[in-house]
């Protein structure tokens, strides 16, 4: 139904929708990065997690989900020695995520009003989306190495998730 409505829009209206859609994709990847930080802090580097029962694990997740990206990075630095290059990259990513979430449209309001400006924003948002996708992949590789060391394979995780779905009828 949306596609039919898009066909009737002029070029500027279509381009504005593309900007908002690309912003959504960039925020999606920023949130994936942020949730990878949650997994690092609540599970991978949390010695309590694997010793805990289901309720305690849920509590650990719940508490960690309440933290901002900056708080997650600070907590991670307390838990493990974070190499300087990674610490700098995490700091940069948190700043970029906060700017994207809180200031992006305010700072780019004029560009979004013009065809050429929207074209620049589309390119910029594509780069931001790719940036956060790569940061998410990087965080995933870190926690996957931890999981591999303790024998927590993807098959075991999927089996656990299936049990959780059955138990809670998700």
pLDDT tens-digit readout, 17-30: 999 999 999 999 99
Question: Alpha-carbon distance 111 to 118, whole Å?
Answer: 6
Contact 9, 112 (CB under 8 A): no
Question: Alpha-carbon distance 6 to 115, whole Å?
Answer: 17
Residues in Cβ contact with 93 at an 8 Å cutoff, skipping those fewer than 6 apart: 33, 69, 131, 132, 135
The mean predicted confidence, pLDDT, of the chain is 90
User: Which of 10-14, 83-87, 123-127 is least confident?
Assistant: 10-14
> Residue 89 above 60 pLDDT?
yes
DSSP state of 159: H
pTM confidence score: 0.85
> Residue 5 above 70 pLDDT?
no
pLDDT tens-digit readout, 30-86: 999 999 999 999 988 888 888 888 898 888 888 999 999 999 999 999 999 999 999
The pLDDT of residue 113:
93
């Amino acid at each position: 139904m949306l596609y039919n409505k898009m066909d009737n829009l002029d070029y500027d209206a279509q381009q504005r929708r593309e900007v908002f859609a690309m912003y959504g994709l960039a925020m999606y990847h920023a949130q994936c990065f942020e949730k990878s930080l949650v997994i690092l802090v609540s599970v991978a580097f949390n010695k309590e997690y694997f010793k805990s029962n289901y309720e305690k694990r849920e509590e650990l997740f719940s508490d960690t989900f309440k933290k901002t990206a900056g708080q997650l990075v600070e907590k991670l630095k307390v838990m493990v020695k974070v190499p300087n290059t990674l610490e700098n990259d995490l700091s940069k990513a948190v700043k970029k995520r906060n700017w994207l979430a809180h200031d992006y449209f305010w700072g780019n309001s004029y560009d979004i009003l013009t065809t050429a400006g929207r074209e620049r924003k589309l390119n910029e948002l594509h780069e931001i989306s790719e940036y956060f996708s790569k940061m998410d992949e990087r965080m995933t590789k870190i926690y996957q190495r931890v999981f591999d060391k303790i024998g927590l394979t993807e098959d075991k995780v999927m089996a656990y998730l299936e049990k959780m779905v059955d138990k809670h009828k998700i």
